[in-house]
Chains A and B, each alone.
Chain A
């Protein structure tokens, strides 16, 4: 239930930082560093997640802050079709964008009550750790290293590695790339780098910052092939007839990982809400909505709601 704080104006002018005291205390060293890092990495374009909240306790859950603010602030990418991209109308669209809107609908009663902050790979974790965004929904796989620093919900998407090559390279299997004549582009993602070192030690590698950059590098001939999430790969191949998917059977690229929402650790209430919401979407009462979204953006059936036949039990 939405909570309105007496003495505040919901429309905006008298909303204030929930962590701020009336006696304008100086910033601690930690707060200053956090603020500076967030400004440096994510720029000044996004809204301050705290600016619209009311006088909640300093240790208030992000769930309460979001409800009081009456708006969700979500970190996203803009170059990962069909997960999150700029559509021909110049608007953010995609599976992850729709997921964020669905959360806003359930939490705030309106799918439009969400502000997207477009991030790059380097900016996503600082943005969430400094409270610049409420959570990140930007094609982020769960890894052990990351889980030590940020909290993850259960995954919303099974994904994994694929390799896309220029059709004119004449390759069919990813192992054929393991040749110094070929250049292999990948994201600055430790998992991708480790897989390249393991499977393609002889190929030249170039490490770029976002999916659009590795696609462009391959299109202009700087790279022969590139590694990208499975969900994004199919869209790229569909849109670019000069590219093709390589067979990855028998290689480390044939793995499954989970893309999940990530948030600042230590906020159990917020994590519990998002995790419960995600569990219900992927395997519970909202599975039909998940299926609709999945069909819309991936044009195929999602994984089943249960791995067993429910009617037998």
Chain B
């Protein structure tokens, strides 16, 4: 059924593409988390800020990544902005994941009792110190399982950046598929590598969760 020798030939090429996949996922996630946190905090303030962040979340949740990639990659040059395909991929995935991260943080924030804010104020803590020492540690811990899930999702979403000419692992796989006309072994190899990487991310998330559990 499986052509093991063929998979052995494909794997080194896929692993070359894996570095691009991981680089995009890492950078996009590194941008998306603080971006989502800012959006969640702004949303909590209510008024215009809440309306804007709500609109942003609706926009990213209700439009496909693929369309966003096309719009940024082909649309920006028409406005005179020429970003590399790699940068377009990072931006779109960060924008997309930021929206989901904002929702994750918003939910976690809602689960923290408002009395904790009041108690920190009563102790004379400045707003920044309140967030830094009281709210954020709990917020991250409560958000961690969902953020880990989002990290795995972003790795899988990178499979779409090939449409804008980024040579990620999936794109390398597509080229091998074209070359060989042997789709199944290529797909099996691709799926196996994605599975290993996302499993490692999931385990790392759980490990961090366990280490930080003392906060609660």
Q: Which A positions have Cβ atoms within 8 angstroms of B?
A: 29-30, 33-34, 37, 40-41, 121-122, 125-126, 129, 143, 145-146, 148-150, 185, 188-190, 193, 206-209, 213, 216-217, 220-222
Q: Mark each residue of chain B from 76 to 93: 1 if its CB lies under 8 Å from any CB of chain A, else 0.
A: 011000100100000000
Q: Which B positions have Cβ atoms within 8 angstroms of A?
A: 1, 73-74, 77-78, 82, 85, 162-165, 167, 171, 174-175, 177-184, 187-188
Q: How far is A40 from B170 in the complex, measured between Cα atoms in Å?
A: 14
B181 to A149, Cβ gap below 8 A? yes
A217 to B165, Cβ gap below 8 A? yes
Q: How far is A207 from B176 in the complex, measured between Cα atoms in Å?
A: 13
- Closest chain-B Cβ to A156's Cβ sits at a distance in Å of 18
Contacts of B1 in A (CB 8 A): 29-30, 33
B181 to A146, Cβ gap below 8 A? yes
Chain A residue with the shortest CB-CB distance to B78: A220
Q: How far is A113 from B127 in the complex, measured between Cα atoms in Å?
A: 72
A222 to B174, Cβ gap below 8 A? no
Q: How far is A221 from B175 in the complex, measured between Cα atoms in Å?
A: 24
- Asked if A206 meets B181 with Cβ closer than 8 Å, knowing A29-B1, A122-B174, A188-B174, the reply is no
B167 to A207, Cβ gap below 8 A? yes
Q: How far is A188 from B167 in the complex, measured between Cα atoms in Å?
A: 10
A206 to B165, Cβ gap below 8 A? yes
- Summarize A's interface: helix, strand, loop or mixed: helix
Q: How far is A163 from B104 in the complex, measured between Cα atoms in Å?
A: 49
18 A/B residue pairs, CB under 8 Å, sorted by A: A34-B184, A37-B184, A40-B187, A121-B174, A125-B177, A125-B183, A126-B183, A129-B183, A146-B179, A149-B180, A188-B171, A188-B178, A206-B85, A207-B165, A207-B167, A217-B165, A222-B73, A222-B77
- Asked if A189 meets B178 with Cβ closer than 8 Å, knowing A209-B163, A213-B163, the reply is yes
Chain B residue with the shortest CB-CB distance to A143: B179
Q: How far is A217 from B88 in the complex, measured between Cα atoms in Å?
A: 14
Q: How far is A213 from B165 in the complex, measured between Cα atoms in Å?
A: 10
Chain A residue with the shortest CB-CB distance to B167: A207
Given contacts A34-B184, A222-B82, 7 further A-B contacts (CB under 8 A): A37-B184, A41-B183, A121-B174, A146-B179, A146-B181, A148-B180, A221-B82
Contacts of A145 in B (CB 8 A): 179-181
- Summarize B's interface: helix, strand, loop or mixed: helix
Chain A residue with the shortest CB-CB distance to B80: A221
Contacts of A213 in B (CB 8 A): 163
A188 to B175, Cβ gap below 8 A? yes
7 A-B pairs with least C-beta separation = A149-B181, A206-B165, A190-B179, A126-B183, A146-B181, A220-B77, A125-B181
- Closest chain-A Cβ to B7's Cβ sits at a distance in Å of 14
Chain A residue with the shortest CB-CB distance to B181: A149
Contacts of B181 in A (CB 8 A): 125, 145-146, 148-150
Contacts of A143 in B (CB 8 A): 179
Chain B residue with the shortest CB-CB distance to A40: B187
Q: How far is A34 from B183 in the complex, measured between Cα atoms in Å?
A: 10
B184 to A33, Cβ gap below 8 A? yes
- Closest chain-A Cβ to B17's Cβ sits at a distance in Å of 12
- Asked if A126 meets B184 with Cβ closer than 8 Å, knowing A188-B178, A207-B167, A217-B165, the reply is yes
Q: How far is A100 from B188 in the complex, measured between Cα atoms in Å?
A: 32
- Closest chain-B Cβ to A157's Cβ sits at a distance in Å of 19
Chain B residue with the shortest CB-CB distance to A190: B179
Q: How far is A222 from B84 in the complex, measured between Cα atoms in Å?
A: 9
Residue of B74, B82, B167, B183 with most chain A CB atoms under a 10 A cut-off: B183
A149 to B182, Cβ gap below 8 A? yes
- Asked if A221 meets B179 with Cβ closer than 8 Å, knowing A30-B1, A37-B184, the reply is no
- Asked if A216 meets B183 with Cβ closer than 8 Å, knowing A29-B1, A122-B178, A188-B175, the reply is no
- Closest chain-A Cβ to B50's Cβ sits at a distance in Å of 36
- Closest chain-A Cβ to B10's Cβ sits at a distance in Å of 13
Q: How far is A143 from B182 in the complex, measured between Cα atoms in Å?
A: 13
Contacts of A221 in B (CB 8 A): 77, 82
Q: How far is A126 from B178 in the complex, measured between Cα atoms in Å?
A: 11
Chain A residue with the shortest CB-CB distance to B73: A222
Q: How far is A129 from B73 in the complex, measured between Cα atoms in Å?
A: 33
Q: How far is A188 from B17 in the complex, measured between Cα atoms in Å?
A: 14
Chain A residue with the shortest CB-CB distance to B164: A208
Chain A residue with the shortest CB-CB distance to B76: A220
Contacts of A150 in B (CB 8 A): 181
Q: How far is A2 from B41 in the complex, measured between Cα atoms in Å?
A: 70
Q: How far is A121 from B179 in the complex, measured between Cα atoms in Å?
A: 11
